[in-house]
Amino acid sequence: MLSRVLEPEVMDTPAEALDYDRMDHTTVNRTFVTDLLDVCPEAATLGDEYVDVLDIGTGTAQIPVELCRRAAGVRVMAIDLAAAMLNLGRTNVEVAGLIDRIRLDRIDAKQLPYADGQFAVVISNSIVHHIPDPSGVLREAVRVLTPGGLIFLRDLLRPVDDGQVAQLVGTYAAEANDHQRQLFEQSLRAALSLPEARELAQDAGLPRESVRQTSDRHWTLAARRD
């Protein structure tokens, strides 16, 4: 197994944000939302009140936009620490016509300014590999969940060797530019292994078995708070 090589915690230059936003995340984002709705039926229907969702590390808000398009009963608080990402995210939300259901804010996920049990659902896609010690982020995510609320996190899985890194970059970033391929490779090398992700869940009071490998490059944590 490759050793973990950390990357910058915050991608906060306009060039990084634009390159990230222009990468083709369509399939990954649609799959994320499909898998989320499969385990979160309360978000799939419009009830008397909205289901409040917190998206940690929203980037340019592509997943909240996809989620709100497909689930009329949710509204999303989307947070990130990168101002450049959020600037593009606000544009994406406005273009999608969802400013009434998606709010964006610059927040450090390690110190959430929200009350205990404030959100029915907490989601995150690909934030864990950006955090040197993600245990604090996961504990905060669990803290702000309502009892019985769902936490749904997905992130990259660290490859076992350099050959697998090259294979994944060649498969999933073949049409990307050099900088985008570099970002993807750095993210793979900064990701957790499956045992590390399961230990992270256990330390936050969640079952180890709530973390599963869900693709050739992803692990997913899906669990309800007691």
- Per residue in 26-37, pLDDT tens? 899 999 999 999
Tens-place pLDDT, residues 49-89: 899 999 999 999 999 999 999 999 999 999 999 999 999 99
Amino acid sitting at position 43: A
Alpha helices in 53-161 (DSSP H): 62-70, 83-96, 135-143
Architecture per CATH, 14-157+193-224: 3-Layer(aba) Sandwich (3.40)
Amino acid sitting at position 46: L
DSSP string, 37-56: HHH-GGGTS--SSPEEEEEE
Query: CA-CA distance, 201 to 179, in Å (whole number)?
Result: 32
Please give the residue that has the higher pLDDT: either 180 or 111. 111
Q: Residue 224 pairs with which residues in a beta bridge?
A: 150
Tens-place pLDDT, residues 97-137: 999 999 999 999 999 999 999 999 999 999 999 999 999 99
Query: CA-CA distance, 180 to 41, in Å (whole number)?
Result: 35
Per the CB < 8 A criterion, the answer to whether 44 and 205 are in contact is no
Q: Would the pLDDT of 11 be above 70?
A: no
pLDDT at 47: 67
Cα 131 off chain centre by:
12
pTM, two decimal places: 0.93
Query: CA-CA distance, 101 to 61, in Å (whole number)?
Result: 12
Query: CA-CA distance, 68 to 86, in Å (whole number)?
Result: 17
Give the start-to-end residue ranges of the domains of the chain: 14-157+193-224
Q: Would the pLDDT of 225 be above 70?
A: yes
Using CA atoms of 51, 215, 7, 29 in order, give the dihedral in degrees to the nearest 10. Answer: -40
